[in-house]
Amino acid sequence: MPTTMKKTNRSEPINFNSEEVHQLRKLAHEGEGQHLEFKRKASHPEKIVREMIAFANSEGGTILIGVDDNGALAGVKYPDEEMISVREALHKHVRQPMVYHDTVVPLSENKFVVRIDIPPGIRGPILFYLGPRQSESYVRVNDMSIKASDEMVEIIRRKKQKKDIRFYFAEHELALMKYLDQYSSITLQEFQKLTGLNRYVASRKLILLVLANVLRITATEKGDLYARV
């Protein structure tokens, strides 16, 4: 089950000018990016869970609930209710343990920001379950959380295992390197067309080349791009 590392203590005196508030304003000023996401409210907690998964599957990150897209600290009135809805969505859609740290930062007597810090997952990938046998996953790319392809999911899984990777530079790999001498990147479909391989074999070859640190994979909304490291 998902676990949280800290519970908010409501009996603590409120300090509206604390260092925590100062750091929060500084963080929000940076704007959304690879490690930071803003949410005005937890109206759609499933979306927040997807963002948490994307951070866990990537380099980790922070979600601020009660912050507008432009970085303004609008706050929420009932921070505990915001987190309850997120935890319920986690319980419903995530089966693997997910470590996260949530804190509530007071802005005034009735306005708060909920901060959720998610470290990179130790075991991965974290999946979002839509049903008993249907799941998907996400990764963070710049300021977007993108649905992970089957290849990306496999790469994340095998990277966590930290096993030695063996592959051979044969005809198809050499054709790929020659292609990348001319073009900056290639898709799985383009690699299939280039080599005449079926999807499964082409996919396995690209996965091995990424795991061997010969290629890097970048998820986009239109599909993965493979490029030289």
Give me the residue spans of the domains in the chain.
Answer: 3-146, 149-228
Tens of pLDDT along 25-35? 999 999 999 99
- The per-residue pLDDT for 107 is 93
For range 98-119, the mean pLDDT? 94
CATH topology of domain 149-228: Arc Repressor Mutant, subunit A (1.10.10)
- The per-residue pLDDT for 133 is 85
pLDDT class of 16 with cuts at 50, 70, 90: low
- The per-residue pLDDT for 5 is 42
Q: How far apart are CA 20 and CA 16, in angstroms?
A: 9
- The per-residue pLDDT for 10 is 46
- The per-residue pLDDT for 124 is 75
Common-topology check for domains 3-146 and 149-228: no
For range 21-48, the mean pLDDT? 94
Instruction: Return the CATH architecture of domain 3-146.
Output: 2-Layer Sandwich (3.30)
- The per-residue pLDDT for 137 is 96
Residue given tokens 């260092």 in the structure block: 19
**Residue 160: which residues within 8 A CB-CB, separation 6 or more?**
121, 122, 123, 124
Q: 75 φ, ψ to 5°?
A: 80, 160
pTM score = 0.85
Q: What share of the chain is helix, strand, coil (3-state, %, to 5)?
A: 35, 25, 40
* Count of residues making up the chain: 229
Q: Which amino acid is it at 168?
A: Y
- The per-residue pLDDT for 143 is 94
